[in-house]
């Protein structure tokens, strides 16, 4: 029969095999194969949020758009002005945003009605706004020496805002990143650069970001378009980040299938949602999750010469337009080198917040409109808890006769003006249309919202 030591040995072998097989399946887990219910669950907060703040901040805020005699630069300044690396590295000693106050930033976003913040943990210049153990090209090497992302993620947790990180795949600083910029091939030879080692660096940083600042809402990849990044690498990275935090949301720029500025990918590509940039799709896309990101002026990073800010009215109507098509709006601020938001951005966030305080129920948790876009504005809709449908009529333009027409023969069980529910709103029917007689009030120049509750579906 077996001896005790033989049994012990056998048990040991079985245990070792079990561990190996278990860890192997854990490693090999394919998160792209989840069910629709699982994805719906994971995307729930994001689909309800509808509105977030994008922040582009880094060393490029110091030159503030100016290099030599040109003043049109932003976060791409090192590439566009062809600044040699040793020259750009000098900015490190000047980064000291003494006015930075994480709580104030988070409160400004929250007061504007935003539910999540996506900030550049690392942009294309490779500089990290967090304390990274795998590089010195980070905020801890500046005179500031404070972990900006730690302070922000703590403030977000306190205020109930989802902390999310932008992370650039392209990196103009890391010696292992390839390819080199065309113009710096001679000053920065490739030497023994090793792209696989660069991927290990990315993974180490992403682990720091998820583990030390999480749980995170989104990892927002970018800079995926250079020829060294491939679909297979995107799939691997997607699964890697999900393995760190299974319920995290990852945008489609982790993969290579994005169609330029329109930003949408096909179903063969990984990534949880599409990212149109500086534009809004002409129509909603049923069953597709997308988020338009946009600047308030013409730059992502701070440019002190750029005063071409969109008005508050334009920004509010953009938000409503996007939401009426079933998308999210990620609106950008490029903070200054002293750590403050530009005053023009502060003002707009505050004014958007005033509108949201009255009207946000017509934004949060709403879906694309069931009707075509009307001449007078937009529709959003949501399901009430009792199964009724609530339609919001966003009136951008008060028609001279004070009437708007909605193409339904259904009668609403309730109609109200969001900014003054005590005002009664008259409705009549005409040739299969519902006519709303707008109350005689001073219209909101940004968007006057009427709520209409209908029994069942529309
Ligand atoms: C990228 C970045 O390069 C830019 O600095 C900023 O962070 C923005 C949000 O994202 O910009 C892009 C990316 C891709 C295209 C255009 C701008 N594209 O494919 O057309």
Residue 198 pLDDT more than 80?
Answer: yes
Please work out whether the CB of residue 254 comes within 6 Å of at least one atom of ligand 1.
Answer: no
Q: What is the spatial distance between Cα 247 and Cα 270, in angstroms, rounded to a whole number?
A: 15
Find the mean pLDDT for residues 397-413.
92
pLDDT digits (tens, 9 = 90+) for 105-124: 999 999 999 999 999 999 99
Ligand 1: nearest atom to the Cα of 261? 20
Find the mean pLDDT for residues 143-165.
98
pLDDT value of position 338:
98
pLDDT digits (tens, 9 = 90+) for 32-44: 999 999 999 999 9
Instruction: Quote the ligand 1 centre to 147 CA distance (angstroms).
Output: 26
Residue 1 pLDDT more than 80?
Answer: no
Q: What is the spatial distance between Cα 270 and Cα 252, in angstroms, rounded to a whole number?
A: 6
Residue 4 pLDDT more than 80?
Answer: no
Tokens at 132, concatenated: 């990274």
pLDDT value of position 258:
74
% of residues, the chain, pLDDT over 70: 94
Please work out whether the CB of residue 260 comes within 6 Å of at least one atom of ligand 1.
Answer: yes
Find the mean pLDDT for residues 76-103.
98
Q: What is the spatial distance between Cα 221 and Cα 260, in angstroms, rounded to a whole number?
A: 15
Instruction: Quote the ligand 1 centre to 225 CA distance (angstroms).
Output: 10
Residue 236 pLDDT more than 90?
Answer: yes
pLDDT value of position 16:
67
Instruction: Quote the ligand 1 centre to 196 CA distance (angstroms).
Output: 24
pLDDT digits (tens, 9 = 90+) for 341-359: 999 999 999 999 999 999 9
Q: 13-22, 98-107, 180-189, 435-444: which has the minimum mean pLDDT?
A: 13-22
128 DSSP assignment = B
Residue 261 pLDDT more than 70?
Answer: no
Confidence of residue 21 (pLDDT cuts 50, 70, 90): low
Match 């730690």 to its residue by tokens: 150
pLDDT value of position 289:
95
Question: Are the beta carbons of 55 and 333 closer than 8 angstroms?
Answer: yes
Report the candidate in 388, 368, 329, 315 with the shortest Cα–Cα distance to residue 52.
329
Find the mean pLDDT for residues 53-71.
98
Residue 26 pLDDT more than 60?
Answer: no
Tokens at 437, concatenated: 């007689």
pLDDT value of position 14:
66
Q: Which region, left, alpha or beta, applies to residue 250 given φ > 0 means left and ψ of -120 to 50 means alpha?
A: beta
Please work out whether the CB of residue 293 comes within 6 Å of at least one atom of ligand 1.
Answer: yes
pLDDT value of position 23:
58
Ligand 1: nearest atom to the Cα of 120? 7
Residue 430 pLDDT more than 90?
Answer: yes
Q: What is the spatial distance between Cα 34 and Cα 60, in angstroms, rounded to a whole number?
A: 40
pLDDT value of position 44:
98
Please work out whether the CB of residue 261 comes within 6 Å of at least one atom of ligand 1.
Answer: yes
Most confidently modeled range among 31-35, 49-53, 367-371, 394-398: 49-53
The chain-wide mean pLDDT, for the chain, equals 94
Confidence of residue 277 (pLDDT cuts 50, 70, 90): confident
Please work out whether the CB of residue 300 comes within 6 Å of at least one atom of ligand 1.
Answer: yes
Please work out whether the CB of residue 10 comes within 6 Å of at least one atom of ligand 1.
Answer: no
Q: Strands 291-295 and 414-417, how do they pair?
A: unpaired
pLDDT value of position 15:
67
């Amino acid at each position: 029969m077996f001896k005790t030591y033989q049994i012990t040995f056998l048990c040991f072998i079985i245990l070792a095999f079990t561990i190996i097989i278990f860890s192997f399946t854990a490693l090999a887990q394919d998160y792209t194969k989840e069910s629709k219910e699982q994805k719906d669950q994971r995307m729930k907060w994001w689909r309800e949020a509808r509105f977030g703040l994008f922040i582009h901040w880094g060393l490029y805020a110091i030159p503030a758009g100016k290099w030599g005699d040109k003043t049109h630069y932003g976060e791409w300044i090192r590439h566009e002005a062809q600044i040699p690396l040793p020259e750009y590295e000098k900015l490190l000693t000047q980064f000291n945003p003494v006015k930075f106050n994480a709580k104030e930033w988070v409160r400004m976003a929250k007061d504007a009605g935003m539910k999540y913040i996506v900030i550049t943990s690392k942009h294309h210049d490779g500089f990290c706004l967090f304390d990274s153990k795998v590089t010195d090209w980070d905020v801890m090497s500046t005179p500031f020496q404070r972990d900006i992302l730690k302070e922000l993620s703590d403030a977000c947790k306190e205020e109930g805002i989802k902390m999310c990180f932008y992370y650039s795949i392209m990196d103009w600083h890391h010696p292992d990143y390839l390819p080199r910029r065309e113009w710096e091939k001679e000053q920065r030879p490739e030497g023994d650069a090793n792209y696989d080692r660069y991927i290990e660096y990315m993974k180490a940083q992403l682990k720091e970001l998820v583990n030390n600042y999480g749980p995170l809402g989104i990892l927002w990849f970018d800079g995926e378009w250079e020829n060294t990044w491939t679909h297979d690498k995107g799939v691997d990275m997607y699964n890697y980040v999900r393995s760190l935090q299974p319920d995290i949301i990852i945008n489609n720029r982790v993969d290579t299938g994005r169609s330029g500025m329109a930003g949408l990918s096909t179903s063969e590509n990984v990534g949880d949602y599409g990212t149109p940039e500086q534009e809004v799709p002409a129509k909603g896309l049923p069953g597709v999750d997308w988020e338009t990101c946009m600047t308030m002026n013409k730059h992502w990073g701070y440019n002190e010469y750029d005063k071409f800010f969109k008005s508050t009215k334009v920004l509010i109507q953009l938000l409503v337009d996007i939401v009426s098509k079933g998308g999210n709006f990620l609106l950008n601020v490029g903070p200054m080198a002293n750590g403050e938001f530009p005053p023009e951005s502060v003002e707009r966030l505050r004014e958007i917040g005033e509108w949201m305080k009255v009207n946000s129920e017509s934004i949060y948790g709403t879906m694309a409109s069931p009707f075509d876009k009307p001449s007078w504005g937009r529709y959003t809709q949501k399901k009430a808890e009792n199964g009724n449908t609530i339609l919001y009529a966003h009136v951008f333009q008060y028609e001279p006769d004070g009437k708007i027409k909605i193409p339904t023969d259904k009668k609403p069980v309730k109609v109200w003006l969001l900014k003054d529910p005590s005002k009664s709103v008259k409705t009549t029917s005409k040739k299969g249309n519902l006519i709303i007689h707008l109350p005689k009030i001073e219209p909101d120049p940004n968007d006057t919202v009427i709520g209409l509750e209908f029994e069942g579906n529309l």
